[in-house]
Chains A and B, each alone.
Chain A
Amino acid sequence: MSQIGVRVLMAKSARVERGKSIFLLIDCNNFFVSCERVFQPGLRGRPVIVLSSNDGCVIARSNEAKALGIGMGVPFFKVQFLCYQKKVVVKSSNFALYGDMSRRVMMALKELWSDVEPYSIDEAFLEADDEICEVLGHSIRETLLEWVGIPVSVGIAKTKTLAKIAAKIAKKDPSYHGVYTLKHPGVDEAILRKLPVGDVWGIGWKLSRKLPLLGINTAYELSQASPHQIRSYFSVIVERVVHELNGIPCLELDDTVQDQKSRIYTRSFSKRITQLKIAEEIISTFATRLSEQLRGARQLVGGVIVIIRTGAHVEASLFHKSSDYESCGDPTSDTCVLAGAAIRALRRCFVAGVPYQKLGVILTGLQSQDGMTEGLFDRERRVKSSALMSAMDGINRVYGADMVRVAATGWRREWNTKSLHRSGAYTTDFGELLRV
């Protein structure tokens, strides 16, 4: 263990005293690009972009790519020539790798500090004592780079909302060496005055259009607004934002592990889907993936929602979007049951001949298998289903994904999404281990 690691672990023993505590936001820099760079160090210093599923849009950019003017969410075809000209490295999204790297970052953080709240795939909040927070921030930054290889920025402030702003500053200005503390009154005010209100955590685009009608255009103006008035116009959530901007913590660190309440699997396809049979293969494949996730998380679901839609630019007469719900009966994670339910829902909303671009399956109202009352009348079926799913998962784990699958998912799978530049699943698949 490095000296840095030792130092942080020592700090871990210090209990955080409520009232004197301060929040740290650990935000991974250009996370997807950073994950690619861990296994391809040659990408460091070069412009890199990561594309969404089906290689559609730009979803992550290195600082060098940002400097070239490649925007976030831009369709790839619009910047394809620029990428060719400037030798930008293009990567297809590799969510297996990013998910696993995120898990490693969160595990490292929990190893280093006790009060950790994973917030998103590349962000986590920590709560620490005011006196040690900056040392802790620098230590965590260096330790994560050494242990996981991911560069992070650390924002430090009295509230979560201010910590988000601080992290943004730490990320943008290299002179802060990746750690910025927002607790200097004069400086803070200047920062808040410059920050558009729409960039404040918790202010969505709808609110960012309404607030200017009240003369609130910046984070500072929002912080000076009457909380009571803000609550009467909007909600208690926006009132909390006002308090948080004034350094009054309203959001506590939530370090309890929350089960996922819903899961979604959607994809856009470059080749339009016009045949029901193909759509059924896609939908049952998505249901299969989700049911595997459910079993991994020991969760069950009572039904599935299928969504389908054409592209936004299709001829008006062909535009169609629809969704439908199908119950599975008793809560289950059985692939056969979920795929069957998804297909039945799809058949109700699919119109043959319409060129569908996006299809998806949504599972909501997930329940933990732990804490579920056993059914009185379906015990035999449940035991058989569990045995079958365990066997399927076991075979697929050993011999590769989809070695055994439900026949409805098809064999040729010509609809598979485009992923021309995907790197290997270096950390999750033995077959794709990095060779050096």
Chain B
Amino acid sequence: MKFTCKGSVLFSGLSIVEKAVSIRTSLPVLENIYLSLSGNVLTLRGNDLELGIETQVVVDGLEDGAVLLKAKTLSSIVSKLQNQQLVITMDDRFNVTIQADNRVDFHIMGLSADEYPIFPIIEHGTALQLKVEDMQQLIKYTIFAVSFDETKQFLNGILVKSEGDQLSFVATDGYRLSIKNHRLSSLPDPQFSVIVPFKVMNEFGRIIAQAKPDTQFELNISKHQVSFVIGKTICMSRVIQGQFPDYKQVLPQRAGNAFSISRRAFLEACERASIIAFASNNVIRLLFRDNVLEIHANAQGMGEFREELQISRISGEGDAKIAFNVRLILDSIKNLEMDDLRVEFDNELSPCLVKPVSDQDYKYIIMPIRTSDFQQAPSQQAETVSV
């Protein structure tokens, strides 16, 4: 294998695929990047057996071939030679020489490409065409709610599901649930429902961040695998096996109280409240009056916070109160762009629905906090059990 290229060209490809390279693995071969030259196309692959990324860059090919090189070493070298013209040559014992401007020589040892795992291809799945900007929203509005609890692997990813022509991304950590829907231009066949790992969604989100918003990409989904194809880059992953909770059962069916509130004002007030709430389990107490929302936070040995916001009551009557973990509120509302939010809940123990007034495709359900001053805990409710 022999080719020449600008250092920055090779580095752009490496920086994409190295995200899928294992740092600590029981299979040393996975610490390598696969390079394969065919004509003027250099294919690069990283694979940690959960996530695989392949991309292609155009080089001046002189002799075809393939090799495995330590990802960390190769990336470090090329990152320091981005402005130089590189000549990369492999001998028949997989030793690779990287020359830059006839002044710099690196000799690094490689491995036979035959040892690298095969990059799987989805054959019988559902193929969808989506725009980058739609995918970015689907990821952004849901990824923060993914759980990192290793004992609940089925919550360690985003549920990607189709229902008719509607594509839904759903994520939950058991305390809040984020749902973003998107209407597809055609009916997917067959329908699908898979849990895509957090890492895959996160990496794909980074890859498409470089693309133009209206760029089209392909999403392929099968029972066990999912792949994203954008330009010359393929991102392939296993899906998480397991049963995602029946999230529809927790969607509030009725709400005794509904209010409209300015997102920006609410966000800023919550950020201020979090300064005090940080020292007391992040608890903030919301007291809704007819047109005023009082936000309270207090921390023993630190101090108190109180702020009033103007709101509009949409339904319900009388005062309503509910307590939340302020982090769970901030995670959602700081990602939104819309002006007004609709906040709905039945009582201080019931799930609370937060959704933008102007976007019916997004729902955020957040569970309240038990506080002895705001509500009866279930154990207290159960005191009625006579002895």
Q: Which A residues have a C-beta under 8 Å from some C-beta of B? A: 256-257, 295, 298, 327, 329-330, 368-379, 382-383, 386-387, 389-391, 394-395, 398
Q: B104 in the interface, Cβ–Cβ < 8 Å?
A: no
CB-based contact B379/A389 at 8 Å: yes
Q: For residue B367, which residues in chain A have a CB less than 8 angstroms away from its CB?
A: 373-376
Q: For residue B281, which residues in chain A have a CB less than 8 angstroms away from its CB?
A: 368, 371-372
Give complex CA distance A376, B248 in Å.
11
Q: B125 in the interface, Cβ–Cβ < 8 Å?
A: no
CB-based contact B371/A377 at 8 Å: no
Q: For residue B250, which residues in chain A have a CB less than 8 angstroms away from its CB?
A: 376-377
**B177, B280, B281, B387: residue with the most chain A Cβ atoms closer than 10 Å:** B387
Q: For residue A376, which residues in chain B have a CB less than 8 angstroms away from its CB?
A: 172, 174-177, 245, 250, 351, 365, 367
CB-based contact B349/A374 at 8 Å: yes
In the complex formed, the residue of B with least CB distance to A258 is: B300
Give complex CA distance A369, B381 in Å.
14
CB-based contact B381/A383 at 8 Å: yes
A370 with B379, Cβ < 8 A, contacts A391-B385, A394-B385, A395-B387 known: no
Give complex CA distance A371, B381 in Å.
17
Partner of B369, one of A329, A374, A390: A374
Q: For residue B328, which residues in chain A have a CB less than 8 angstroms away from its CB?
A: 373
Give complex CA distance A329, B152 in Å.
8
Q: For residue A371, which residues in chain B have a CB less than 8 angstroms away from its CB?
A: 280-281, 283, 369-371
Q: Which B residues have a C-beta under 8 Å from some C-beta of A? A: 151-152, 172, 174-177, 245-246, 250, 280-281, 283, 300-301, 324-325, 328, 349, 351, 365, 367-372, 377-379, 381-383, 385, 387
From residue B285, how far is it (CB to closest CB) to chain A in Å? 11
Give complex CA distance A370, B380 in Å.
12
Give complex CA distance A330, B283 in Å.
19
Partner of B385, one of A330, A390, A398: A390
Partner of A398, one of B176, B301, B387: B387
Give complex CA distance A386, B385 in Å.
10
The 7 closest A-B pairs by CB, nearest first: A371-B281, A394-B387, A387-B382, A386-B379, A374-B367, A386-B382, A373-B175
Give complex CA distance A298, B371 in Å.
11
In the complex formed, the residue of A with least CB distance to B349 is: A374
Partner of A370, one of B172, B246, B349, B370: B370
Q: For residue A377, which residues in chain B have a CB less than 8 angstroms away from its CB?
A: 174, 245-246, 250
Q: For residue A373, which residues in chain B have a CB less than 8 angstroms away from its CB?
A: 175-176, 324-325, 328, 367-369
CB-based contact B174/A330 at 8 Å: yes
A375 with B174, Cβ < 8 A, contacts A370-B372, A386-B382 known: yes
Give complex CA distance A375, B377 in Å.
13
- Apart from A370-B370, A373-B367, A373-B369: 11 A-B pairs, beta carbons within 8 A: A298-B377, A298-B379, A329-B152, A370-B377, A372-B369, A372-B370, A376-B174, A376-B175, A377-B245, A379-B378, A391-B385
Q: For residue B300, which residues in chain A have a CB less than 8 angstroms away from its CB?
A: 256-257
From residue B110, how far is it (CB to closest CB) to chain A in Å? 42
In the complex formed, the residue of B with least CB distance to A384 is: B382
A329 with B151, Cβ < 8 A, contacts A370-B370, A376-B177, A376-B250 known: yes
**B175, B349, B351, B379: residue with the most chain A Cβ atoms closer than 10 Å:** B379
Q: For residue B172, which residues in chain A have a CB less than 8 angstroms away from its CB?
A: 376
CB-based contact B175/A375 at 8 Å: yes
From residue A180, how far is it (CB to closest CB) to chain B in Å? 31
Interface contacts (Cβ under 8 Å), in number, total 85
16 example contacts (A-B, Cβ-Cβ < 8 A) are as follows: A256-B301, A327-B151, A368-B281, A369-B377, A370-B371, A371-B280, A373-B175, A373-B176, A373-B328, A375-B175, A376-B172, A376-B367, A377-B246, A390-B385, A394-B387, A395-B387
From residue B323, how far is it (CB to closest CB) to chain A in Å? 8
Give complex CA distance A356, B100 in Å.
68
CB-based contact B387/A391 at 8 Å: yes
From residue A332, how far is it (CB to closest CB) to chain B in Å? 11
Q: For residue B383, which residues in chain A have a CB less than 8 angstroms away from its CB?
A: 390
Give complex CA distance A132, B172 in Å.
59
**A373, A386, A389: residue with the most chain B Cβ atoms closer than 10 Å:** A373
Give complex CA distance A379, B367 in Å.
11
Q: For residue B381, which residues in chain A have a CB less than 8 angstroms away from its CB?
A: 383, 386
Give complex CA distance A369, B370 in Å.
7
CB-based contact A374/B382 at 8 Å: no
Give complex CA distance A368, B370 in Å.
10
Give complex CA distance A391, B151 in Å.
30
Q: For residue A391, which residues in chain B have a CB less than 8 angstroms away from its CB?
A: 382, 385, 387
Q: For residue B372, which residues in chain A have a CB less than 8 angstroms away from its CB?
A: 298, 370
Give complex CA distance A391, B386 in Å.
7
Give complex CA distance A373, B245 in Å.
18
CB-based contact B378/A382 at 8 Å: yes
From residue B370, how far is it (CB to closest CB) to chain A in Å? 6
Give complex CA distance A257, B368 in Å.
24
Q: For residue A369, which residues in chain B have a CB less than 8 angstroms away from its CB?
A: 370, 377, 379
Give complex CA distance A24, B372 in Å.
34
In the complex formed, the residue of A with least CB distance to B302 is: A256
CB-based contact B283/A374 at 8 Å: no
From residue A64, how far is it (CB to closest CB) to chain B in Å? 43
From residue B284, how far is it (CB to closest CB) to chain A in Å? 11
Partner of A374, one of B151, B246, B368: B368
**B152, B174, B324: residue with the most chain A Cβ atoms closer than 10 Å:** B174
CB-based contact B378/A383 at 8 Å: yes
Q: For residue A382, which residues in chain B have a CB less than 8 angstroms away from its CB?
A: 378
From residue A169, how far is it (CB to closest CB) to chain B in Å? 32
Q: For residue A295, which residues in chain B have a CB less than 8 angstroms away from its CB?
A: 379
Q: For residue B379, which residues in chain A have a CB less than 8 angstroms away from its CB?
A: 295, 298, 369, 386, 389-390
From residue A402, how far is it (CB to closest CB) to chain B in Å? 15
Give complex CA distance A370, B370 in Å.
5
Q: For residue B324, which residues in chain A have a CB less than 8 angstroms away from its CB?
A: 373
Give complex CA distance A371, B328 in Å.
13
Q: For residue B377, which residues in chain A have a CB less than 8 angstroms away from its CB?
A: 298, 369-370, 386
Give complex CA distance A389, B387 in Å.
12
Q: For residue A374, which residues in chain B have a CB less than 8 angstroms away from its CB?
A: 175, 349, 367-370
In the complex formed, the residue of B with least CB distance to A328 is: B151
From residue B298, how far is it (CB to closest CB) to chain A in Å? 12
Q: For residue B371, which residues in chain A have a CB less than 8 angstroms away from its CB?
A: 370-371
Q: For residue B245, which residues in chain A have a CB less than 8 angstroms away from its CB?
A: 376-377
Give complex CA distance A398, B387 in Å.
9
From residue A352, how far is it (CB to closest CB) to chain B in Å? 28
Q: For residue B177, which residues in chain A have a CB less than 8 angstroms away from its CB?
A: 376
Give complex CA distance A159, B329 in Å.
43
Partner of B378, one of A329, A386, A395: A386
Give complex CA distance A369, B29 in Å.
48
Give complex CA distance A59, B349 in Å.
48
Q: For residue A378, which residues in chain B have a CB less than 8 angstroms away from its CB?
A: 174
Q: For residue A372, which residues in chain B have a CB less than 8 angstroms away from its CB?
A: 281, 369-370
From residue A307, how far is it (CB to closest CB) to chain B in Å? 21
In the complex formed, the residue of B with least CB distance to A396 is: B387
Give complex CA distance A390, B372 in Å.
17
Give complex CA distance A347, B281 in Å.
35
Give complex CA distance A295, B378 in Å.
12
From residue A359, how far is it (CB to closest CB) to chain B in Å? 25
